């Protein structure tokens, strides 16, 4: 793998102003992403895992500037995306694409598949009409769909086929960086395996760098080179695939791994139960955001925000008790 960093996130935070209640005129702040720093190497797949509400999707959208960060920087190669004008970002979006979670709502129902996949080519005025059609046919074949499907509408396809179309659309502009936002969570297990294998094959063929977002650790273990564990807007642990799954350190990571079904009854881990639900990002806990559900928490955890520190080369953990 090329060790060159293609995406560098530095102290990124993304907050949203919302009504504090339905009848209130006061504004409250949703702290969706808080002070996140990480790097993604060229050609690698970085898995991003965590419970629903942990800020994974917002982080992915903030990196490619679909959501505007409140503070921090996002470097794409040598460019700081947070400082670019809209026109500059528009030209750069060819290099950054996203595959959305829901294959049913992410495709325009009134457009034919060929127009959906080729829309980016038309917007950026790439090639002649015939060349664009040829490119769309090539992409359809690359994702395992028949070329004549370009004349059909999204409602004529299954969920797995729709997600293949979404992947083809994302690849149309030959991107360097792809955000895959829970691309298989809405699909059947058998279809999930097909889509994951397809993404692995395409990432190798097209030389993609990918941020793969999921709440399913077993899927991430299969596809990711490195894994970042996120909780309530902050990164709790970051390590290469083998290290994280064989030698997890953060209590949240241990709890997530414990929740993964084990087909072999001889494989045992210490049973960890997380009490309660993830707190609201409107009012996150002070200090360590995980302390309200952590069995190791002490009084110090309520007053200290743990830094993501390196325990060993490539293995970072945000916990003062580790």
Q: pLDDT class for 44, splitting at 50, 70, 90?
A: very high
pLDDT at 187: 86
Q: Give tens-digit pLDDT for 237-283.
A: 999 999 999 999 999 999 998 877 777 777 665 566 688 888 999 99
Question: Region 108-133: what's the mean pLDDT?
Answer: 95
For residue 179, pLDDT over 90 is answered with: yes
For residue 299, pLDDT over 50 is answered with: yes
Q: Say if pTM beats, i.e. exceeds, 0.85.
A: yes
Question: Region 50-65: what's the mean pLDDT?
Answer: 95
HEC states along the chain? Answer: CCCCEEEEEEEEEEEEEEECCCCCCCEEEEEEEEEEEEEEECCCEEEEECCCCCCHHHHHHHHCCCCCCCEEEEEECCEEHHHCCHHHHHHHHHHEEEECCCCCCCCCCCCCHHHHHHHHHHHCCCCCHHHHHHHHHHHHHHCCCCHHHHHCCHHHCCHHHHHHHHHHHHHCCCCCEEEEECCCCCCCHHHHHHHHHHHHHHHHHCCCEEEEEECCHHHHHHHCCEEEEEECCEEEEEEEHHHHHHCCCCHHHHHHHHCCCCCCCCCCCCCCCCCCCCCCCCCCCCCCCCHHHCCCCCHHHHCCCCCCEEEECCEEECCCCC
- Return the domain boundaries, the chain: 5-317
For residue 208, pLDDT over 60 is answered with: yes
For residue 70, pLDDT over 90 is answered with: yes
**Pairwise pLDDT comparison (216 vs 186), residue with the higher score:** 216
Give the least confident one: 28-32, 51-55, 262-266. Answer: 262-266
Q: pLDDT class for 87, splitting at 50, 70, 90?
A: confident
For residue 101, pLDDT over 70 is answered with: yes
For residue 190, pLDDT over 70 is answered with: yes
For residue 60, pLDDT over 50 is answered with: yes
pLDDT at 181: 96
Instruction: Return mean pLDDT, the chain.
Output: 92
CATH 3.40.190.10 fits 5-317, yes or no: no
pLDDT at 267: 66
pLDDT at 1: 46
Q: What percent of the chain has pLDDT over 70?
A: 95
């Amino acid at each position: 793998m090329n060790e060159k960093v293609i995406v560098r996130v530095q102290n990124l935070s993304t907050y949203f102003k919302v009504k504090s209640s339905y009848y209130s005129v006061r504004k409250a702040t949703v702290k969706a992403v808080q002070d996140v720093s990480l790097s993604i190497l060229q050609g690698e797949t970085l898995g991003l895992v965590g419970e629903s509400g942990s800020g994974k999707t917002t982080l992915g959208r903030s990196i490619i500037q679909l959501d505007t960060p409140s503070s921090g920087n996002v470097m794409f190669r040598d460019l700081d995306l947070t400082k670019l004008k809209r026109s500059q970002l528009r030209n750069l979006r060819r290099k950054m694409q996203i595959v959305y979670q829901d294959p049913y709502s992410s495709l325009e129902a009134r457009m034919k598949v060929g127009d959906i996949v080729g829309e980016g080519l038309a917007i950026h005025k790439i090639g002649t009409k015939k060349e664009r059609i040829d490119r769309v046919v090539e992409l359809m074949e690359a994702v395992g769909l028949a070329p004549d499907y370009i004349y059909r509408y999204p409602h004529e396809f299954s969920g797995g086929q729709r997600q293949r179309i979404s992947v083809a659309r994302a690849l149309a502009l030959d991107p360097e960086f792809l955000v895959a936002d829970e691309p298989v969570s809405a699909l059947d297990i058998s279809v999930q395996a097909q889509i994951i294998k397809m993404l692995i094959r395409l990432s190798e063929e097209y030389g993609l760098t990918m941020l793969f977002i999921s709440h399913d650790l077993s899927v991430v273990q299969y596809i990711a080179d490195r894994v970042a564990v996120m909780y309530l807007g902050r990164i709790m642990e970051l390590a290469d695939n083998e290290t994280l799954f064989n030698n997890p350190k953060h209590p949240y990571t241990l709890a997530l791994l414990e929740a993964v079904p084990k087909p072999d009854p001889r494989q045992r881990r210490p049973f960890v139960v997380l009490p309660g639900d993830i707190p609201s990002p409107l009012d996150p806990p002070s200090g360590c955001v995980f302390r309200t559900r952590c069995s190791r928490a002490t009084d110090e955890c309520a007053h200290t925000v743990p830094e993501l520190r390196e325990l060993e080369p490539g293995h970072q953990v945000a916990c003062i008790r580790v």
